[in-house]
A and B are shown apart, each in its own frame.
Chain A
Amino acid sequence: MKPEPLLDVAELSKRYALQPSGSPIARAIRRLRHGPEAVPKLHAVDDVSFTIGRGETVGLVGESGCGKSTLVRLIARLIDGNEGSIRLGASELTHIPAKRFASVDERVKIQMVFQDAGESINPRYTASDAISDPLRRLRGLSGDALRSKVEEAATRCGLPLELLSRYPHQLSGGQRARVGIARAIAVEPELLILDEPTAALDVSVQVVILQLLEKLKVELGMSYLFVSHDLNVVRLLCDRVLVMYLGKIVESGPAREVFANPAHPYTRALVDAVPDAKRPPSGRVRLSGEIASPIDPDPNTCRFVGRCPKAESLCRQAMPRLQPVRPGHQAACHFSSSGPQT
């Protein structure tokens, strides 16, 4: 039997209610004629289930706007979902409203590094203040104990101690990113969520940060949920990868295998689009066709159907569910390729 996962997300959904279209007067007339109308809903995260094991690194990739940030914000309990469950170890987190989550014990177990390290650090905080803050609030540290923890976290992240007195605008992008990571790991969370931590970094800083993350994983036994657009980075850093498309997980499995042998047509297109200095762009699949809208999508149609080179009539009649294609590797496609591709 498999050991119990650290994080177990089941059937999680988040929908945003939108303004109905038309002017207020047009809407009033419509209401008079046709009765009350349904509020259109944007399905940002739609019935998502997955687990993360202890010490495991899971990557999350997918098209811009597919719901990655919404999903990780739900898990970090910054926003409330509509339904579903999020279990961390033995505790169910969805019972605690996001507003109150900051003050509960579980807070310390999940930390998040935000997309733009510069934006998430208070401009009036020095690097040292920024790293101290969660230690003081969540671990109740002060004085010498606090200082030594701050210095330990900074050193772990390769941040020279003389930079601790600097404000964010006096640090380079890479140094700021390291402050963001030091701040998140200082409290030694069980799960660290990183939302595109290296997007703004040049390659050499990026390599340093990735090697650091791998080292911390070994030293502290943390689990990671790592959102990135850089498939090369995900392949190098992650044990497993989740591929999202319009609010749904369409493929999951071992990172190397998924990228080497994508089973879902969307993953295939994604892998094919990676620019590569060492490989000229020839004969690549370029996605075309109509992109489905996340607003009130048809529950009985594959979300990828309008752009899919493999689509057949079945794809417009039934939503494909995640099904095993190889051990530990699943895809949600009626015609997923299970054998190795040529």
Chain B
Amino acid sequence: MAAPALLVDNLSVEFQTRSGVVKALEGVSFNVAKGETLAVVGESGSGKSVTAYAVMGILDAAAAVTSGRAVLGGLDLLAASKEAMAEVRGREVAMIFQNPRTALNPIRRVGDQIADVLLRHANVTPNAAPREAIKLLETVGITDPVRRAKAYPFELSGGMCQRVMIAIALAAQPSLLIADEPTTGLDVTTQAIIMDIIAERASATGMATIFITHDLGLAAERADRIVVMHAGHVVEAQRTRDLFAHPRHPYTQALIAATPGHTSRLAELSTIGGNLPDLRAAKLPACRYAARCPRKLAICDSSLPSIDPTAPEALACHNPVSSPPMGEAA
């Protein structure tokens, strides 16, 4: 197997707060290959964004990385110097943030913001940068790009700001793209266009993509593999088709059941029972899903099967939902 584009191995992150230490991530491990699209899914608060921030080296001051490494092209990003990380960000790894309006500079024209990145990270001359910026705006489906390049963020709709963010991320021509909910503010036809652009980039340049989303339908359609997170743990990872056909972790199963698909009545939708555990608790059960889990065994409080960071699949559960029948697994 070729070396993965990014290997995250046993990553743990804690936040100091006035009311105690929040154990936001514990032993998070996964990998993403060159050209691969890996979706990361899980409830709000499960640690998806914190994982992305840790890899990008942009955790806030109250955070501490207490264990682990994140290896990209031989460099451990968690141990790299500030200068090295500044170099990596933008050039090697680009991120699309969850909240585009606040991530854009409110007092700079959007065309200039894209041109800035082109000048810094791509081989583009100052003369050509504005033209290239307009081309990128066009690529992300913004009509009248010449005029829109001169707009300030407040003059654009929510979804247009999101597309400007995407243009900025792609301008850097990264080898790894971390997209945190890149299309939540977009209608499905625009979403399809954006996801096509990302996919084209991935296959043309071998860009690896980590795609954070709470839209399981979108993950099903776009990801090669899916990592499921719950309360700061990776609970399961599988190839996309296998995950939907045979969810193994009880949490994955509950998550899939709560997705509104063809259900005809609101009341028929199931919710996931219970809440995420309080991550400040002094003593959390080994499996953080234990308190909510209908398949819990006594052992689930005290130990958790470990996962192999380099494997394509992962399962952290003592009593998984039945395995695929013999012979059916592809």
Contacts and interface: CB of A to CB of B under 8 A. Distances in A.
Interface of A: 16, 18-19, 21, 40, 61-65, 69, 115-116, 119, 172-174, 196, 199-205, 207-208, 210-211, 214, 229-233, 236-237, 269-270, 273-278, 281, 286-287, 291-295
A62 B187 contact: yes
Interface stretch (B67-75, B200-208, B212-220, B310-318): B212-220
Given A273-B192, A293-B144, A64 B187 contact: yes
B283 interface: no
A277 B216 contact: yes
Contacts of A203: 214, 216, 255, 258-260
Contacts of B271: 204, 207-208
B244 A64 contact: no
Interface stretch (B4-12, B88-96, B119-127, B153-161): B153-161
B27 interface: no
B265 interface: yes
Interface in B284-306: none
Nearest to A211: B266
Given A119-B102, A293-B144, 16 more contacts: A18-B147, A40-B147, A65-B156, A173-B44, A201-B44, A207-B258, A229-B188, A229-B191, A230-B260, A231-B188, A233-B260, A236-B263, A270-B189, A287-B189, A287-B192, A293-B143
Contact of B272 (A18, A204, A237, A270): A204
B182 to A, nearest CB: 13
A274 B158 contact: no
B256 A64 contact: no
A285 to B, nearest CB: 9
28 contacts: A63-B189, A64-B158, A64-B160, A64-B190, A65-B160, A115-B158, A196-B158, A196-B185, A200-B181, A201-B214, A204-B271, A207-B270, A210-B266, A211-B269, A214-B266, A229-B185, A231-B188, A275-B215, A275-B217, A275-B218, A276-B217, A276-B220, A276-B261, A277-B221, A277-B261, A278-B262, A286-B196, A287-B193
Contacts of A196: 158, 185
Contacts of A232: 260-261, 263
Contacts of A64: 157-160, 162-163, 185-187, 190
B184 interface: yes
Contacts of B189: 63, 269-270, 273, 287
Contacts of B272: 204
Contacts of B192: 273, 286-287
A291 B193 CA distance: 12
A122 to B, nearest CB: 15
A233 B101 CA distance: 24
Nearest to A70: B157
A65 B159 CA distance: 7
A21 B147 contact: yes
A301 to B, nearest CB: 15
Nearest to B262: A278
Interface string B164-207: 00000000000000000100111111111100100000000000
Contacts of A237: 266
Nearest to A290: B143
Given A202-B44, A229-B186, A229-B187, A278 B160 contact: no
Interface residues of B, number: 60
A214 B263 CA distance: 16
Contacts of A276: 217, 220-221, 261
A38 to B, nearest CB: 15
Nearest to B272: A204
A16 B192 CA distance: 28
A61 B186 CA distance: 11
Contacts of B45: 172-173
Contact of B256 (A173, A211, A233, A277): A277
B190 A63 contact: yes
B185 to A, nearest CB: 6
Contacts of A278: 244, 261-262
B108 interface: no
B59 interface: no
Nearest to B214: A202
B269 A295 contact: no
Given A64-B158, A207-B269, A291-B141, A202 B244 contact: no
A5 B263 CA distance: 30
A185 B271 CA distance: 23
A200 B45 CA distance: 12
Contact of B260 (A16, A205, A207, A214): A207
Nearest to B151: A18
B65 interface: no
Nearest to A278: B261
B150 interface: yes
Nearest to A65: B157
Contact of B99 (A116, A202, A277): A116
B260 A236 contact: yes
Contacts of A281: 221
A174 B147 contact: no
Contacts of B190: 63-64
Contacts of B1: none
Given A69-B157, A203-B216, A291-B143, A236 B244 contact: no
Contact of A205 (B44, B144, B157, B265): B44
A166 B6 CA distance: 38
Nearest to B259: A203
A207 B272 CA distance: 10
A19 B150 contact: yes
Contacts of A69: 157-158
B267 interface: yes
Contacts of B181: 200
Contacts of A61: 187
Contacts of A286: 192, 196
Nearest to B144: A293
Contacts of B269: 207, 211, 236
Interface string B16-46: 0000000000000000000000000011110
